[in-house]
């Protein structure tokens, strides 16, 4: 991906419907008995009002504890492309500018780092984080818990890295595009080396695995990305996966709950979002709500998966995908490019123009 993501804006009208309910009690005083009766009625009405108030308070408490998406203040307007963290109090968002922002559980702060555009981020721990850059030279930066530094890689002048993932400090993979087509680098704890992979013109965008011997790398067949590329690593060699479900689909993100439960997201011809699923033997196209292209996917389990993209965040509950309510900015739902969470009720999504939203109580 050599160009920045386009921000697609759809203007939505906001309408508000307010309903009010009032309680009116009229008491006509005639005789003492009637007065007593009126007093009893008034007491009953007061009791009803108290009950209603209690119900309203309960509803408010429930709303306060129900997870929902809210906007966060990133402090900048740079485009974000990726997000990862070791915990709720240690989250990194990366993007164009270059931009690396850090969240300490209270607020986001901007980190000044040499680079062009950070496209992906992953870490083995809070003091062992890797970020890949769209610098054109296969740039990888490492964070040791106190500062960021550039690593030496075998990338050539045409190398662009878009995604990074690993199992440990001694087993990290980075994917992208090189002068000869698709590119995968591997770090063994000492140095980066280029891996032997099936040839072809492609943009590899994302990588994920269930173990060091079960790794998936996804992308598009060419610059347009009109046919998905999925490569699989078994611990010794890479092979290309093929399936009819992958035709006319370009993939941008991949995540799985296990070897036989993998989700890959992207866009397809003639447009719109696409999600394909791997069950351990074959890929299949999933039914999703109408959406724009999807760029990121992450989850906690097979029944709790988030996918983000142009003006949308989708959620999978193990049975079906549904669109989530997302806060608007100036009447428009923002675009999203990356998603990660510390738990099912503590999720961060990032996008262009410094957009960061959080899902939680």
Same domain membership, residue 56 and residue 85: no
Residues 286 and 305 in one domain: yes
pLDDT in tens, 83-138: 999 999 999 999 998 789 999 999 999 998 887 899 999 999 999 999 999 888 88
Distance CA 160, CA 138 (A): 5
DSSP annotation string for 200-213: BS-EEEEEEEEETT
pLDDT tens string 152-187: 998 666 689 999 999 999 999 999 998 878 899 999
Same-domain status, 53 and 130: no
Using CA atoms, how far residue 166 sits from 151, 187, 208, 317, in Å, is 16, 9, 8, 26
- Whole-prediction pTM value? 0.81
Q: Which of 44-48, 55-59, 102-106 has the highest mean pLDDT?
A: 102-106
Residue 191 and residue 292 share a domain: yes
Residue 9 confidence (pLDDT):
28
**Residues of the chain with pLDDT > 70: what percent?**
79
Q: Would you list the DSSP string of 257-326?
A: EETTEEEEEEEETTSSEEEEEE-SS-EEEPP--S-S-EEEEEEEETTEEEEEETTEEEEE-SS-EEEPP-
Diameter over CA atoms, the chain: 100
- What is residue 262's predicted lDDT score, i.e. its pLDDT? 98
Model pLDDT for residues 182-229, shown as the tens digit of each residue: 899 999 999 999 999 987 767 899 999 999 999 999 998 754 445 889
313 in a structural domain? yes
Residue 45 has pLDDT above 90, yes or no: no
Q: Is 27 contained in some domain?
A: no
Looking at the fold, whether 210 and 331 belong to one and the same domain comes out as yes
Listed residue (255, 250, 285) closest to 271, CA to CA: 250
3-class DSSP state for residue 142?
Answer: strand
Based on the number of CB atoms within 10 Å of its own CB, is 356 exposed (0-12), middle (13-18) or buried (19 or more)?
Answer: buried
Q: How many domains does the chain have?
A: 2
Interatomic CA distance for residues 188 and 233, integer angstroms? 16
Average pLDDT of the chain is 83
Do residues 154 and 226 both lie within one domain? yes
Contact 331, 13 (CB under 8 A): yes
pLDDT digits (tens, 9 = 90+) for 12-29: 322 322 333 333 333 233
Pair 49, 157 in one domain: no
CATH number at 196 reads 2.130.10.10
Which domain range does residue 60 map to?
A: 32-66
Domain boundary among 43, 66, 89: 66
54 and 86 co-located in one domain: no
For the chain, the C-alpha Rg in angstroms (whole number) is 25
- pLDDT for the residue numbered 31: 32
- Per-residue model confidence (pLDDT) at position 99: 87
125 beta partners: 128
283: in domain: yes
Contact of 93 with 356, CB cutoff 8 Å: yes
Residues 180 and 214 in one domain: yes
Pick the most confident of 43-57, 259-273, 323-337: 323-337
Q: Residue range 335-339: average pLDDT? A: 98
Is residue 8 in some structural domain?
no
| Domain-embedded: residue 261 | yes
pLDDT of residue 201: 64
Q: Are 300 and 335 found together in one domain?
A: yes
Q: State CA 148 to chain mean position distance.
A: 24
For residue 226, the SS3 value is coil
- Asked if residue 2 belongs to a domain, the reply is no
- The answer to whether position 7 is within a domain reads no
Give the separation between CA 335 and CA 110, rounded to whole angstroms: 21
Nearest residue to 353 (alpha-carbon basis) of 22, 53, 78, 47:
78
> 116 exposed, middle or buried (CB, 10 Å; 0-12, 13-18, 19+)?
middle
In a domain, 202, yes or no: yes
Long-range contacts of 32-37 (CB under 8 A, 24+ apart): none
């Amino acid at each position: 991906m050599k160009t920045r993501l386009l921000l697609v804006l759809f203007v939505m009208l906001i309408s508000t419907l307010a309903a009010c309910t009032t309680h009116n009690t009229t008491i006509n005083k005639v005789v003492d008995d009637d007065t007593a009766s009126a007093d009893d009625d008034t007491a009953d009405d007061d009791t009803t009002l108290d009950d209603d108030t209690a119900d309203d308070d309960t509803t408010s408490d429930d709303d306060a504890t129900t997870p929902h998406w809210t906007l966060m203040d990133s402090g900048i307007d740079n485009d974000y492309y990726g997000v990862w963290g070791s915990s709720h109090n240690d989250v990194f968002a990366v993007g164009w500018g270059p931009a690396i922002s850090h969240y300490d559980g209270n607020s986001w702060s901007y980190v000044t780092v040499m680079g062009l555009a950070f496209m992906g981020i992953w870490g083995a721990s809070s003091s062992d984080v890797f970020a890949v850059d769209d610098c054109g030279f296969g740039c990888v930066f490492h964070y040791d818990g106190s500062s960021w530094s550039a690593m030496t890689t075998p990338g050539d002048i045409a190398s662009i890295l878009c995604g990074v993932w690993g199992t440990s400090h001694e087993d990290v993979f980075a994917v992208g595009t090189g002068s000869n087509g698709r590119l995968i680098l591997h770090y063994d704890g000492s140095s980066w080396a280029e891996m032997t992979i099936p040839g072809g013109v492609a943009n590899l965008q994302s990588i994920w695995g269930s173990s060091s011997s079960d790794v998936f790398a996804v992308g598009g067949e060419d610059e347009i990305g009109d046919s998905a590329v999925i490569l699989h690593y078994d611990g010794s060699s890479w092979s290309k996966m093929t399936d009819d479900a992958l035709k006319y689909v370009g993939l941008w993100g991949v995540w799985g709950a296990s070897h036989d439960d993998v989700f890959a997201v992207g866009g397809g011809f003639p447009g719109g979002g696409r999600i394909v699923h791997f069950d351990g033997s074959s890929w299949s196209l999933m039914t999703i709500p109408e959406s724009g292209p999807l760029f990121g996917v992450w989850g906690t389990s097979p029944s709790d998966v988030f996918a983000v993209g142009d003006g949308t965040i989708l959620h999978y509950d193990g049975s079906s995908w549904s669109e989530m309510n997302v806060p608007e900015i100036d009447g428009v739902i923002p675009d999203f490019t990356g998603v990660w969470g510390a738990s099912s009720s503590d999720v961060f999504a990032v996008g262009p123009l410094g957009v960061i939203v959080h899902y939680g109580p």
